[in-house]
Amino acid sequence: MYGQNSDSNGTPELNASINNITFTKLSGNTGNDVNTSHRLKVVSSFFPIGEFVKKIGGNLIDSSLLIPVGIEPHDFEPTIKQIQNVSSADVLIYNGLGMESWIDKMSVPHKIDASSGLKVLYSDKNNKTIDPHVWLDPVLAQKEVENIRDGLIKIDPTNRDYYMNNSLHLLNNLDGIDREVKTDLLSCKKKDFISFHNAFSYFAKRYGLNQHSISNTPEDETTPQHLAEIINTAKSLHLNIIYAEELIDPRYASVIADEIPNGKVLVLSPIEGLTKSEQASGIGYLDKMQQNVKNLLQGLQCNQSSSRL
């Protein structure tokens, strides 16, 4: 593991790409018309789940994140204090699919598995390891929103209409991203992209793209042989954008970019957390999705003039 919990390790290009984004705030129902005197105490496992939960639960819940937003969640292990904090909550909401290996340690009155019922992909050739990154596919993210909504309604049926109304806003936003990605991709010359870790299989499958990744998980050390393979892939497919992540040292992406013509590093976020500066600016999951699409359109050599981004 390297580069964890750092927000100042980008290349100039990478930092410039972050700084040049204009983030759009998306509206949601803040629920001023409901009784908030008995708020459910809800803990979400990590960033995207917490974002969904806050928008659906609004003023009816007291929302917190178990994994701080600047921490890469793949290799997270909760402390005893964090386990105790969760035990004082009413509800723990998590992504599932193996992302939270510690979930069985948690004792809490209600748990909601956001990915329940989803058709999964595997991240290995032997179909033994489930790929957990469903939140990066806007269509599967909608299913997670519905699972969270339905779970909250089951626990707190009196406020069904409030949860339904709030989730409708979020579902519409996710539907909008899905439709825009489909439209934007029509103008692209490429279908292949090189991500840092193997997080975009669901996204790639949804939109008919091919993901090549530098690493299987953020904490994996890649081999020189694999780096050479990725450089050859980039050269043979004439790809010049190599993607890095905001919470991980971009050195591997930079090494590859240095070896290919006009090579450049941009961020393609697995949306597993935020840097401290992103957190301070108040950006959310939907902003990060939009930033990803914008950077992906560059790598896929698309005509961005028709895009709202």
Positions in the binding site for Zn ion (CB under 5 A):
199, 270
Q: Measured from the CB atom, is 42 or 274 closer to Zn ion?
A: 274
CB 285 within 8 A of CB 48: yes
What is the number of other CB atoms lying within 10 angstroms of the CB of residue 101? 11
Q: Measured from the CB atom, is 199 or 302 closer to Zn ion?
A: 199
- Helix %, strand %, coil % for the chain, to 5? 45, 15, 45
Q: Measured from the CB atom, is 42 or 114 closer to Zn ion?
A: 114
As measured in angstroms, the least distance from the Cβ of 51 to Zn ion is 16
As measured in angstroms, the least distance from the Cβ of 61 to Zn ion is 26
Q: For Zn ion, which residue has the nearest CB?
A: 199
Residue 111 sits at φ, ψ, to 5 deg, of: -125, 140
Q: Measured from the CB atom, is 42 or 136 closer to Zn ion?
A: 136
List of residues 6+ apart from 125 with CB closer than 8 A = none
CB 74 within 8 A of CB 219: yes
Q: Measured from the CB atom, is 57 or 270 closer to Zn ion?
A: 270
As measured in angstroms, the least distance from the Cβ of 67 to Zn ion is 12
As measured in angstroms, the least distance from the Cβ of 150 to Zn ion is 25
As measured in angstroms, the least distance from the Cβ of 247 to Zn ion is 10
* 199: DSSP letter: -
Cα of 76 vs its chain's centroid, Å: 16
Task: Tally the residues of the chain.
Answer: 309
Return d(Cα 165, Cα 162) in angstroms, integer: 5
